Amino acid sequence: MVSQNTGKVGDVELYVVSAGPLDIGEPDKAFDSAHCDHGEVCELSSKGRIVVEQNVLAVRSRGRIAIFETGAPFRDTGLNPLHAGLVSAGFDLGRIDAIIPTHAHLDHVGGIMDLDGHRNFRNAAIHLHASDVEFWLADDRLGTRGERSALVARRNLVPNLDRLEFHADDQETFPSVTAMHTPGHTVGHTSFVIGSDNDLLFVVGDIVHHQCQLSHPHMKMLFDTDPDAGVETRLRTLEYLASRAMPAFFYHFPFPGLGYVERVGDGYRFSPLSDRDWG
């Protein structure tokens, strides 16, 4: 399945569209083993490599359309399955009003432009935290482990500097979408709360990549700009979700990435949503 109409929160219509799988490499290159046996990660991985999903959330709110994340195009072809998935779900790419990446890593902004330098979403504004744009466009990123993401950010953001809209913590950045600054994975990583009153959905982003990080929330993610801050943010966010029984959307969990976080002992677990959970 590449797309799914998942229902509504408040007056906001929700769709999840797949941007395809993403190979993030071997467990010991992604996670610090101090708090987790890598064998546990490997059990949930493919041939010793961690392959996660890229779930893109599309919303209709007050007559406007936004997508959260854009996915990374396939390296060999430059194609992004997100586009066909959006079309099959009934979306016109030219009528999407906003792209709302949680941060500026390559699998989140890499689908803004095609490989020929044309905009895939020609009328969309791009909503990001200003500190993430500043960080990933800085020359300091070149020659570091983050160079590939920096180059992808340059290719996708520099031609669209006039389309950038910056949000701050606790600010409505799109109708019925409130930003929540959740730094650690990147300096400007931002999660979002969609809906109103008690009818809400939390967009997690890359606070969590793999379900192993729920059972072992202290485990550091080595892709984080600040791994210690990443752990602190993860612990705070998971407790926030579990204590409120708030449904959440996980970018890298198995499609469609929607479910609840439940507290279990010293950790947490993911409970997928069923159709009856939605209005």
The count of C-alpha atoms lying within 13 angstroms of the C-alpha of 65, restricted to the half-sphere facing its C-beta, is: 15
Cα–Cα distance, 167 to 102 (Å, whole number): 11
User: Whole-number mean pLDDT of the chain?
Assistant: 90
pLDDT at 97: 98
Look up the pTM and report it.
0.93
pLDDT higher than 50, residue 60: yes
Of the candidates 104, 134, 16, the residue with the CA atom closest to the CA atom of residue 67: 16
Q: With a cut of 50, say whether residue 11 has pLDDT above it.
A: yes
Is pLDDT at 264 greater than 80 in this prediction?
yes
pLDDT in tens, 172-230: 999 999 999 999 999 999 999 999 888 999 999 999 999 989 999 998 988 999 999 99
The mean pLDDT value for 93-112 works out to: 96
Phi then psi dihedrals of residue 9, to 5 deg: -120, 120
Binned at pLDDT 50, 70 and 90, residue 48 comes out as confident
pLDDT of residue 38: 52
Q: Is the pLDDT of residue 249 over 50?
A: yes
Looking at residue 32, its pLDDT comes to 81
47 band by pLDDT with thresholds 50, 70 and 90: low
Look at residue 276 in the predicted model and tell me its pLDDT.
43
Q: What percent of the chain is modeled with pLDDT above 70?
A: 89
> Which has the closest alpha carbon to 132: 79, 168, 92, 171?
168
Rounded CA separation 221/173 (Å): 28
Q: Which phi and psi angles does 240 have, rounded to 5°?
A: -60, -45
> Residue 101 and residue 185: Cα distance in Å, rounded?
13
Q: Do 193 and 201 meet the contact criterion of CB atoms below 8 Å apart?
A: yes
- Side chain identity, residue 167: H
Which sign does the torsion angle of CA 66, 4, 234, 146 carry?
Answer: negative
Task: Give the lowest-confidence range in 24-33, 131-140, 242-251.
Answer: 24-33
**What is the model's pLDDT at position 188?**
98
pLDDT given at position 33: 65
Ranges 42-46, 96-100, 175-179, 269-273: which has the least confidence: 42-46
